[in-house]
Amino acid sequence: MILLQLKDYPRKAYSINQFTQPPCYELDGEDFIFVMDSGYDYELHITGRESCEWRMVDEALKRETYRCLKSDDTTYLLHYEIKDAGLRTAHTWVIDLAQRLVTLLTCKVGLNPKHPFLISSHFDFGAIRSEAVELPFKRHAFTSDMVGTCVEWHWKPAFLTRHSYYSTSFYRITHPKEMDTTSEFGSSNAHLMPSSDEWARYVKIKEQMYLFVLTESNSERIVGDRGRFRSNNMAFLQNYDRMYHVGRSFGTAMEDGKPFPVNMLFGAFGNPVELDPAFLDAPNPFVI
């Protein structure tokens, strides 16, 4: 009998993408008008399997290279980094065709003069315009639904993380005690930090689907250039019906003492998990 052995990829600088879904090209040829609550509407034209054009309405079209993943049959995570933006800038769209709703996450690197690698992020919510159909008035929205949830995410056969979504503003992360995270990521920032708590936001997309977004900001301010990983923003579109997420990471890491840009897709399978009450109930040292 031949036993199937899952391939364990060699360690990379950011090796959390083994279980990433194949790229999705279903939106190729689609044209969207997004009516946003900020008052700044967008056009998005998917011109190829990896090419798109976008603009804020009444501005010139910009051409980008996008990547797209599916969270369910009608919900897409579409991401591109904007060329020639000055400061590094990325758009991440959650395009919800079933409800004709859309969420835009805009991230920038370099707005903070003291911490130039720190990620700044901004959310905008809106609806998808369709001919002869009224715009929906409901929106994706920030939520407290996930507070108290703990999930174990499997990124590859030998690597997993355990998340505690304990607050509407923070999350914390741990690993099984027997797992060697140093061999996976090399020298990390964890031993330099008083805790793993980081800023996070939670957006309800639909029943059993949430956009969870974390920003590695505490570690950037405290560890800075002593760490291998600088500030990164990670967006997880989490499907709790199918118990997986699709997502992307945008930010900076260090290699041989030099910064290099992180801009990658990822994915993982999950399961509920019970965590040690001492871990769950530990105070957050970053807030009063």
Q: What integer pLDDT is reported at residue 238 of this predicted model?
A: 98
Q: What integer pLDDT is reported at residue 188 of this predicted model?
A: 59
Tell me the C-alpha to C-alpha distance, in Å, between residue 184 and each of 10, 36, 40, 158, 231. 9, 41, 42, 9, 19
Diameter over CA atoms, the chain: 64
- 141 and 99 in contact (C-beta within 8 Å)? no
Q: How many CA atoms lie within 13 A of 79 on its CB side?
A: 25
Q: What integer pLDDT is reported at residue 20 of this predicted model?
A: 94
In a domain, 23, yes or no: no
What is the model's pTM? 0.92
Structure token pair of residue 140? 């994706």
User: Which residue range forms the structural domain that includes residue 225?
Assistant: 142-280
Q: What integer pLDDT is reported at residue 11 of this predicted model?
A: 47
Total domains in the fold of the chain:
2
149 and 232 assigned to the same domain? yes
Structure token pair of residue 55? 């603009």
Residues 6+ apart with CB under 8 A from 253: 13, 14, 228, 229, 230, 232, 259, 260, 262
Q: What integer pLDDT is reported at residue 1 of this predicted model?
A: 44
Q: What integer pLDDT is reported at residue 146 of this predicted model?
A: 97
Segments of the chain with pLDDT less than 50: 1-2, 6, 8-11, 13, 186-187
Q: What integer pLDDT is reported at residue 126 of this predicted model?
A: 98
Q: What integer pLDDT is reported at residue 185 of this predicted model?
A: 52
Q: What integer pLDDT is reported at residue 180 of this predicted model?
A: 61
Alpha-carbon dihedral sign for residues 229, 266, 122, 106: positive
* Residue that is last in its domain, among 106, 130, 154: 130
